[in-house]
Each structure stands twice: as structure tokens, then as C-alpha cells.
Chains A and B, each alone.
Chain A
Amino acid sequence: MKPAPFGYARARSVAHAVELLAQDDARLLAGGQSLIATLNMRLSHPAVLVDINGIGGLDRIAHKNGHIEIGALVRHVQAERSPDIARHAPLIARAMPHIGHPAIRNRGTIGGSIAFADPAAELPACLLALGGELEIAGPQGQRWIKADDFFKGLFETALTPRDVLTAIRVPAADADTRVGFAEFARRHGDYAIVGLAACARRGGKALTDVRLTYFGVGSTPVRARTAEAALAGGDVDAAVGALARDLDPPDDVQASGAVKMHLAGVLLRRVAVQLTEARP
């Protein structure tokens, strides 16, 4: 199908984008790899698209003050090839090849993936697992919000229609940081049936600060908190058993809830191995 008619405006700056978004029924266009598909299928029909691709300075990756800051317009391919992300944000580096296909990654943006908040997408889960933060510009100025407070429901976030996500920030990894990532998808690059993004710290022989974030199991990325405690105690079997208390995945077109629960356990065993491996 073809999109319904809409107006189009190019934002020259973040402030200009916020101004343009004040129009009724305006939608922000970043990489467009989800939005334009929904326009084509007429699942959404905004009055105006505000294109932020021409705004300078939103495509930077910076390592500063113990954090990695990634501009909202950083393309997936840029993140995938970034030595800073490989070194200081290894969870994101591991997730990146699973996101879409090469042509999608050439165009799709980090900010777009997170703002769209598909519950089966990789980056929202990574951001939540890492305890990251988001920089948002809106009519009242700039604010930072924690990933823990960002994902509200199905495709629903703390962003209002007048806000622009401008950057994300995650703690930079150090020698004791451990990460794990695995997912099941029907075809490489498709949205996951179930996926798991995890991070922890190595303290002696044990793991501490374990954060397990599943995706494809609910309306948002979901922390598996009981399993986190069990895994920190070193008991993988108990952690897998605890998933029954943490997750209740609904059936969807890809798999039944029961299959997803089973796969969640399989992923946890794989990721538990990754979490105990030394960093390269």
C-alpha cells in the first residue's frame, strides 16, 4: 500500500524540531525504518512528518565521565563499527548485528529504535539492562530520564508527541563488567521471538548487580528480578526455575506463551555462560 497524504518539514535544529512538533498530529521522522513501514501499511496517518535527519551534532558517540553517550541519530551501522562502543558498551556491540538487516542498519537510528519501543526490539532491552538514561528535549527544555522510568507500555514511553529524544547514555564498562546477549528469531535480523540482554559485575567468583532484561515477552522489555537474585547466588537451575515468577509471556503470531517460556530458560543458560566468561 501507499501512505496517506501528509505534510513534511525539515528541522534545522533540536529547538526547531520541538517547534515543528507543536503542530497537530505531527510525528518525528528519524531513520524511518519502522515509521515508514507503518505509513505504507496505513497503520499510522500523521498530518505532518518532522524530519530530524538534517540536524547536526546528533550523530556523535562520546566516551566521557564514565559514560558512553550515543546521539539519537547515530545509525546502527555506525554503532556496529564504533571502537568506542565495542570497548566501552560491549552489550550494545553484541546486540547490534541482530538488529534488522544491512540495508536497515545503514538507515535506522539508535534513537529511533528506542523511541519506537517495540517490545521485541533489542536496544530498549539493552538500555534497560544497562541502567541507561535518555536525554529528551521538549517544550519545557531539556531533561534526563532513567531507562527504568521510560518504557510505559506497548509502544508507549515517557516521550510526549512534542518531545525529541536526543541522546542515550550508558555506564562505560570496566574490567569487572560482564555482559551477555542472545535471542531466537525465525530469520537472522528479524524481531526476536524471545531475547535476553544481560549485564553484571564480577566480584571474586560471584556475580553482583545482575540485570536480566527479556524482550519479546510482554508489552515492554521485562526485568527478571527473581532470576537475577538466583543467578547472583550462582545457581543457574534456580534462576531458570525462577523465570516462571518473573515472566508471563502472552501468545503471539510467532509462538505460544509456553514456547516463549521454554526459550527464555534456554537463553538464560546461554547468557549465564557468557556472563562468566572473561572479557576479551
Chain B
Amino acid sequence: MSERFHDITVTVNGEEVREHVDARKTLVDFLRDDLALTGSHVGCEHGVCGACTVRVDGVVVRGCLMLAVQCDGARVETIEGIADSNEIADLQQAFIDRNALQCGFCTPGMLLTAQELLRSGAVPSRDTIRVHLSGNYCRCTGYQAIIDAVEAVAKARASE
């Protein structure tokens, strides 16, 4: 009744995926190793850095703190799917315009986390943006440019 391997069915970026997974495999390793979706990055592997951020059933989670086997029946969205849908095209462009990335390792997590804040439609203060992104580390640019980009998109969307 407590098997190590399990069959799961997961909707990943709109496509149904059936796999046989080891219970110990984290969601982010499943996405990267089994599905070749390498946009979600593996940083600290204990929930501190935010590089593995993905969406499960509509909300952002740590891909390293959820097991693939727990996603049976769930809807998973990664940076690949969300970028292809154009949902965050303006945010991506703002990151480029303001040099809000350098190596890009943290960028998928930053984009998905920021989008969760922006989806409410409000224009958050810089402090609110900072607190909201507090769980995502950037080791290149620092945070000013990232906060600039998120703030600019919030204002642009509000004025549309």
C-alpha cells in the first residue's frame, strides 16, 4: 500500500503527460529530467532560492518542495508554457529593457512570482514588490532593476 513507484497523469503546459515516477523525485527534477523542460532551474534544493518556481493549479510553488507523485491530476505550468502563451510578454520585455537579468538563472522564478503579484491588477508599491519577491534570490543584478521592471509593468497594465 506504500509503493515506491507510481503512475501519474499530469497536465503540463496544457498537455496531458503520463509517467511512471519514483516517489522521491521532486517536481522540478521531473520537469527537467523526464520532460526536458529545463527552464525551471535547480538552485538550493531546499526552498530558499526560488529558482525552481513553477505554477501548480494556478499558484506558484517551489518545484523542489513538491514531489512529482503529488502532482497526479494537477495542472502544472512552467516558464516555457507561460512564456509561449504570451501572458507575460510585457514583463519579459521590461526585464530586457531594464537589464533586470544578467545570467538569467533566477529569471523564470522572478517572472512567475512577479506575475502572481501583478495578476491582481493593482499597482503595488515598491515595498510590496520587494516583499513579494523576497523568496527569490538574484546573484547578478541585485534587485533594483527587477523591481523597476515589475513596477513599470504594473503601471503600464493599469493604464491600458
Contact = CB atoms under 8 A, between A and B. Distances in A.
A41 B134 contact: no
Contact of B24 (A6, A9, A100, A103): A6
Contacts, number: 104
Interface string B112-136: 0100110000000000001110111
B47 A33 contact: yes
A37 B46 contact: yes
Nearest to A2: B24
A77 B58 CA distance: 13
B19 interface: no
Interface in B1-41: 1-4, 6, 22-24, 26, 29
A215 to B, nearest CB: 19
Interface in A23-62: 23, 26, 29, 32-33, 36-37, 39-41, 47-51, 53
B135 A103 contact: yes
Given A2-B24, A23-B2, A48-B2, A106 B60 contact: yes
B51 to A, nearest CB: 11
B113 A1 contact: no
B53 to A, nearest CB: 6
Interface string B95-120: 00000000000000000010011000
A103 B61 contact: yes
Contacts of B23: 5-8, 49
A37 B24 contact: no
Nearest to A36: B65
B62 A33 contact: yes
B45 interface: yes
A101 B64 contact: no
Q: Give the most central of A26, A36, A101, A103: most B CB within 10 Å.
A: A103
A8 B2 contact: yes
B26 to A, nearest CB: 7
A4 B23 CA distance: 10
Contacts of B69: 8
A103 B46 contact: no
Interface string B33-76: 00000000000011100100100000111101111011000000
9 contacts: A5-B4, A26-B2, A32-B67, A36-B65, A40-B46, A40-B64, A102-B117, A107-B66, A189-B131
Given A9-B3, A102-B60, A106-B61, 18 more contacts: A2-B24, A5-B24, A8-B4, A9-B1, A9-B2, A32-B66, A33-B62, A36-B47, A36-B64, A37-B45, A37-B64, A40-B45, A49-B23, A50-B2, A104-B62, A107-B66, A188-B134, A189-B135
